[in-house]
């Protein structure tokens, strides 16, 4: 049985092969077109250098994204803790106010009952 990871890897290899074949065909067409124009020559490019530059850039970009994600998570955790503390404070204040109001109402009710006797 083939695992989903194996299927994905095989699909990735097949798509990479298709890209390489398309790139080779494009390169041949471009070289033919450039060679037909007098006075123009194809620039020399070191593929290894280009690959290194692209992957170095991707690595830097990923590092920046990782730092951002960590910063965002840290900020969210701090905000969550602050919200929890404020909620506890509000709940405590409401509870005290409810207890005080209950005591006042209870006292008024008792006074009203005493007044009717």
Q: Given this model, what pLDDT does residue 17 score?
A: 94
Distances (CA, A) of 74 to 1, 11, 62, 84: 43, 38, 18, 15
Q: Given this model, what pLDDT does residue 112 score?
A: 78
Q: What is the pTM of this model?
A: 0.43
- Give the residue extent of every domain in the chain: 1-37
Please give the span between the terminal C-alpha atoms of the chain, in angstroms, as a whole number.
89
What are the φ and ψ backbone dihedral angles of 73, each rounded to 5 degrees?
-65, -40
Q: Which residue has the tokens 């109001």?
A: 101
**Both tokens of residue 96?**
């005290």
Q: Given this model, what pLDDT does residue 33 score?
A: 79
Q: Which residue has the tokens 């905000």?
A: 79
Q: Given this model, what pLDDT does residue 117 score?
A: 67
pLDDT digit of tens for each residue in the chain (117 aa)? 689 999 999 999 999 999 999 989 988 888 887 777 777 766 777 889 999 999 999 999 999 999 999 999 999 999 998 888 999 999 989 999 999 999 888 888 888 778 776
**Both tokens of residue 89?**
């404070």
Where helices occur in 1-117 by DSSP H, the ranges are 4-36, 47-115
């Amino acid at each position: 049985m083939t695992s989903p990871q194996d299927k994905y890897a095989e699909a990735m290899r097949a798509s990479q092969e298709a890209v390489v074949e398309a790139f080779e065909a494009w390169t041949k067409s471009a070289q033919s077109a450039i060679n037909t124009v007098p006075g123009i020559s194809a620039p020399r490019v070191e593929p290894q250098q280009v690959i290194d530059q692209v992957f170095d850039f991707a690595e830097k970009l990923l590092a920046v994204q990782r730092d951002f994600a960590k910063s965002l998570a840290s900020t969210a955790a701090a905000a969550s803790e602050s919200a929890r503390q404020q909620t506890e404070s509000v709940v405590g204040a409401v509870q005290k106010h409810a207890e005080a109001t209950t005591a006042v109402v209870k006292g008024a009710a008792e006074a009203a009952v005493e007044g009717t006797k």
